[in-house]
Amino acid sequence: MSEEIQQSNSGQQLITHYFNQNPENSQDRQRISRKRKMDSELPKKKMSLKLKSDDESSNDNIQLQLTNPPNCQTIYKYLKSNKDVSNEAGNQSKALQLKNTEEGKQKAQGNDKSSFVKPKDSKVILQSVQKQNDDEANKLQQKLMEKEQVEKQLRQEKQQLENERQELIQQHNAFKKRTQVVFAEALKQVEELKREKMREYLERERYRLGEFVSSRNNVRFVEEWQDGYEIKQVKQNLQKLENERNELEKQKNEIKDKSLSKIQKDKQTKLLFDLDLQNGDLDNNQRKLRIQFQLSILKKEEEELRLKLQKLEEEKQQLAYKTRRFMEEQGAEPKWPLIAQRYQTLGLLGKGGFSEVYKSFDLQEFRVCACKIHYLNPQWNENAKNNYIKHALRENDIHKRLKHINIVSLYDTQEIDQDSFCTVLEFCDGTDLNQHLKKYKILAEKEAKLIIRQVLAALHYMSCSPTKIIHYDLKPQNILFHKGEVKITDFGLCKVLDYDTTRQELTSQGLGTYWYLPPECFLEQQNIQISTKVDVWSVGVILFEMVYGKKPFGDGMSQERIAQERVILNSYQVKFPQKPNISQECKDFITKCLTYNMEARWNISEAYYCNYIQNLKTTN
């Protein structure tokens, strides 16, 4: 196509050049061209009406055909070939348009024929179609109604089930509440029966073993123990036997000692029971033998009475402990019998300076627990109250993180009012080590080592935690027994070390129990550094007390006297008694724990993993 356009352009240039050289033919050419142009407009208009979509190429071919000038034979011949090409292109486009027009007419005629239906038939068809549409609409409407009914029924059933569920929940809650109330009442009745039984026991035993009696000491009243008739009788019998023994010893010393041969002594001994005692016909040797025989009988009677008195003294200790706890319980009735609508308080377990511990029952978990109620003194100022609360919350936070079989678990914390709150602890059904030692005085080395091993396991867990913890108040009162296990408790004075430190400055001098604290806690200087070796010293003191029945330093002394006489500061070396017989491994372990220099003293890991603690077979 581009070649044809180039040829047509070159032909126009030739025509222009020809007429420029022959100007005489230009007028005739113009007149003829105007005539031809006028003659060609009419068919052109007709053609444009018929073929509106005729392309530009066919119009160009028609114009070239109409504007063929005369007298240009050579140019005409030259352009003839181009004209034929353009006519052929135009004819092809026209043929294509005519073909498309015929096909469209045929399709339209076919559609008209197919869509042409008689009026009656069309009405029937429309009615049938309308009926089908109505049937389908009715079916859909019916399905929608069925769906709505099903959904409505499901909603009703769901609502009914929800109502039933809510009703069951309410019934369950009501039943649970009634159960808790009944259970709490039953527990209180049982506790009242126990208290009544305890009251009868104390009333009965106080005549036999004794009781506390108030006496006036200057300007204040103090409670002193007064022995019962049975203890008094045993002591009187012992005193009587002692007087008889002293009299016999005196008579024995008055008799002159005469040497007798072995045969004579045997003969005198044989004849001793054959003599007529009424006549008093006895010589000095016979009287001496008689006195010796009487002394041996008195000695046996005295031993029996002393064993009986020892047993009575043990019973008296238990009675005194129960009496004091019963008196405290009677004077400190809980103001909140039910704490947080969950914990039913029962009997009093112990009492401290600003706290009381009650045996309680969890009405939700249905388990026995211990509720420690912390009190704030109303006379304290705000700073003192805030410090106590801060200290108690710190203890609570530390204790809550400790999860070990040999550490008493902390279950919950509940606020009671503005001046008191409660911490719920694991209940230990046994006594503490202090009461155990009061009852048995001395423990076997194997039993003592088993106790110390469990204490060290708890301390090792505390020292290996991300935040190392120093108990600082480890003593027999804070070591409890529960179902064959040993558990430590009371973290009120504990110290927390940072993750990357092993020591901390001591900021609580004067606190703690002096018999179980190491010498560095009594230094009178600033920036005193302590570590977990404080608890190692306490372990050594407790083991010494268990196997020897007394404390290694300051035994029988008060804390004020220990502080005044600087007893612990002067305890450079531990001294072991002759009896009872303890293994050398046990003595070495105690010596390592009670090393005066903190740097040379064992740490908790060394004490826990030593051969003496880990190897139980070496114990006698």
Closest to 489 (Cα-Cα) out of 427, 560, 412, 553: 427
State both tokens at 141: 């409407």
SS3 587: helix
Region of residue 340 (left: phi > 0; alpha: psi -120 to 50; beta: else): left
- Compute CA distances 311 → 230, 440, 515, 549, whole Å: 12, 11, 28, 17
How far is 4 from 380, CA to CA, in rounded Å?
118
* Angle ∠(471,474,476) on CA atoms, nearest 5: 155
- Asked whether 135 and 127 are in contact (CB, 8 A), the reply is no
555 is annotated as an active-site residue: no
Q: Which helix (DSSP H) or strand (DSSP E) does residue 151 occupy?
A: helix 119-208
| CA 535-539-541 angle, 5° bins | 115
Report the distance separating Cα 300 and Cα 305, nearest Å. 9
What φ, ψ does residue 209 adopt, rounded to 5°?
-110, -30
Nearest residue to 34 via CA among 62, 66, 58: 66
305 neighbors 241 (Cβ within 8 angstroms): yes
In sequence order, the β-bridge partners of residue 361 are: 344, 368
Which of 28, 283, 397, 473 is an active site residue?
473
271: burial class by Cβ within 10 Å (0-12, 13-18, 19+)? exposed
537: closest CA among 568, 559, 495?
A: 568
372 is in an annotated binding site: yes
**Token pair of 172, please?**
């369950």
Cβ within 8 Å of residue 353, ≥6 positions away: none
- Terminal-residue alpha carbon distance, the chain: 123
Which phi-psi region, left, alpha or beta, contains residue 91 (left: φ > 0; alpha: ψ -120 to 50)?
A: alpha
Q: Is 339 helix (H, G, I), strand (E, B) or coil?
A: strand
Q: Are 535 and 472 in contact (CB under 8 A)?
A: yes
Q: What is the DSSP letter of 463?
A: H
**Cβ atoms within 10 Å, residue 304:** 13
- Token representation of residue 20: 């420029």
Instruction: Tell me the backbone φ, ψ of residue 578, rounded to 5 degrees.
Output: -70, -40
- Rg, the chain, Cα only: 60
* Helix, coil or strand: residue 25: helix
Three-state SS for 337?
coil
The binding site comprises: 372
The binding site for ATP comprises: 372
Q: Which residues are catalytic?
A: 473
